[in-house]
Amino acid sequence: MKTRTIIAILATAALALTAGTAAAQGRQGKGGASPPERAQVERGQRDFDRDRMRDRDRVEHPSQDRDQVRDQDRTNAPDNAPQEAQGIYGGEFMSEQERNRYREQLRLTESDPESRNRLMAQHREEMQKRAKEQGKEINEPPQDGETGK
């Protein structure tokens, strides 16, 4: 008999607790955020989700970032340079593979200005040598760097 009484009391307490929680949630829903506030919160959440997805894409697909930078370089390059050589000192004397390799070397030395300057000086000397061998002059690169950035 004692066991039945204890089980009945526990069951009643559980039901009462569940009903009280449901009632509290119902009151909270009625007095909660107004529709304009809810819309603002939802827009903020969508913006947050969009930004999080972009960050994830940048981490998972870094080549797309490089493609965007390359497209920006082409957009900001001087109009008088050939498309494939824009922004690189002596680019007209280089093959496409050499230009791509040089751009990659520049990208790899972005965090080390000393190495980057050495690479650029070495490149400049090589391009001047090639131009002299062909009896031509080199067009100067844009003022803000060899990659047109």
Domain ranges of the chain: 77-134
Rounded to whole angstroms, how far apart are CA atoms 4 and 30?
Answer: 39
Alpha helices (runs of H) in 1-139, residue ranges in sequence order: 2-30, 35-60, 62-76, 96-108, 113-134
Q: What is the full per-residue pLDDT of the chain (149 aa) written as tens digits?
A: 788 898 989 888 888 788 777 666 665 555 556 777 888 888 888 888 888 888 887 777 776 666 666 655 554 444 444 444 567 888 888 899 999 999 999 999 888 889 999 999 999 999 999 999 988 887 665 544 444 44
**Count of other CB atoms within 10 angstroms of residue 116:** 18
